[in-house]
Structure 1
Amino acid sequence: MKIGMILECQPAGPDAAVYPYIAKKLCEDLEIEKPETLVNKQRLMNEAPEVAQTLLQNGCDIVFIIWDKKPRWGEGGNCETDTAALTTALTQLGINMTQIRLCCIDEMMESWMIADSRGFMNWIRSKTNHALQNIGDHATPAEQTDPKNRIKRYLRDHFNKIKYNDYDHNLQIVKAFPDFNRTAANNSSFKYFKDSIEEICP
């Protein structure tokens, strides 16, 4: 099974490392093409359908289009509206939607990263021998808003030797998760991504 991924990040952005890593952890037999990175949400919405068509023509069995509900520039987003727009554009190109997985992340990647505290706490505890207060599971959508600042506030208050940077730290944190079951239980958009990978795992 060969999959492609279309992401809204920069070519060296954290999404391009994190989502293929998780897919391989969930299904080591997957063949994953190098992610197509479209830099921002606007470009993803405009260009992803044609990029998906190319990936399918080049031999991918399934293409994942993954974007954050809330763009980097901080404006609101709507997963239903985005999904409908992409579905219309993909269908107009004659793409079989059974080969597409549309993953709108609520509200951004770091939201599901704090949904289960184990990854973050395993990572931060690997940096020190001091006892640290647990950041706690952020188990509801309301608790998962503004996740980057939640991480930054925790580090400022409890371990200010590290200045959080998503490019440097997200993959490290994700690699510290023992599994992704609690994350999926606490963030439905991540659950859809996880379930979609497991459903196609050969």
Structure 2
Amino acid sequence: MIGFIFECGPQGADKHVCEYLASQLRPGVKLISRTMDNKLKLLAGAASVAKSLLDEGCERVLIVWDLRPAWPDKKEKPCRAAERQTLLDALTKAGLQGQPVYLVCVEQELESWLLADETKLSAYLSTDSRAYSAPRTRRPDDVVNPKSRVMKYFKEARGLRYEDYVHAVKVVKTGTVNPQRLRQSKSFARFEDKLSC
């Protein structure tokens, strides 16, 4: 059993995409997710939620958050190192140092993973009457605003407004999961590694 803690709400894109990918990468494993609504609440409360998930029998817990969430909590520039340290300090205070609790900061946001496999974006955005070819993004974690890039592709291809909570999991479910392509995102590679390390 794997536990997840997300910064989004119960219907958030991060939750649905990560659960789907985990089910494909670790078939048959039971998944339990807890959502914290935003990054501030995740940073403040993830340690106690992780302890509860371990107490419920999870073999490991992944705390997953976006470096640049769609609804930032602060006006200052986000810092992965500072956020990581906040979580590590909270885990230590909760007596979870050395326990199988892993931190996965998605850089920059979930759409980085969508950009990592342009074949899925292309397949989802193509129609019977018009094929669409999303450009390849070699370093998706370096794209400063991946959500706006995905929005641009949706508009170009089908005149659609991209809504992460609706479309992200549909894109990921298009075709089979190709971990090799997704590993172009280092944060996805960390997510994959922590599912079974």
Query: TM-score with structure 1 length normalisation?
Result: 0.89
Residue by residue over 1:14-66, the C-alpha shift from the partner in whole angstroms, topping out at 9 and shown as x without a partner, is 11211111001001031111x10000000000000011111111111101100
Question: How do 1:153-164 residues align onto structure 2 when only pairs under 5 Å count?
Answer: 153-160=152-159, 162-164=160-162
C-alpha separation between the residues in 2 aligned to 1:82 and 1:30?
29
1:195 and 2:193 are equivalent in the alignment? yes
Q: Is the 8 A contact 1:26 1:198 kept in 2?
A: no
> Quick one: which amino acid aligns to residue 30 of structure 1?
V
Q: 1:197 to 1:139 in 2, by over 3 A?
A: same
How much does 1:107 deviate?
0.5
Identical columns (%): 30
Q: 1:43 maps to what in 2?
A: 41
Q: 1:169 maps to what in 2?
A: 167
C-alpha separation between the residues in 1 aligned to 2:152 and 2:28?
39
Question: How do 1:1-202 residues align onto structure 2 when only pairs under 5 Å count?
Answer: 2-33=1-32, 35-74=33-72, 75=75, 76-125=77-126, 127-132=127-132, 134-141=133-140, 144-160=143-159, 162-178=160-176, 179-184=178-183, 186-199=184-197
Q: 1:198 to 1:56 in 2, by over 3 A?
A: closer
Equivalent pairs counted in the alignment come to 193
> Quick one: which amino acid aligns to residue 125 of structure 2?
I
C-alpha separation between the residues in 2 aligned to 1:145 and 1:194?
22
Q: Is the 8 A contact 1:111 1:145 kept in 2?
A: no
Q: Is the 8 A contact 2:62 2:194 kept in 1?
A: no
How much does 1:141 deviate?
4.8
Aligned-residue CA RMSD (Å):
1.7
Q: Secondary structure at the match of 1:44?
A: helix
C-alpha separation between the residues in 2 aligned to 1:7 and 1:147?
19
Query: TM-score with structure 2 length normalisation?
Result: 0.91
How much does 1:73 deviate?
2.7
Q: 1:51 to 1:174 in 2, by over 3 A?
A: same
Q: 1:54 to 1:143 in 2, by over 3 A?
A: closer
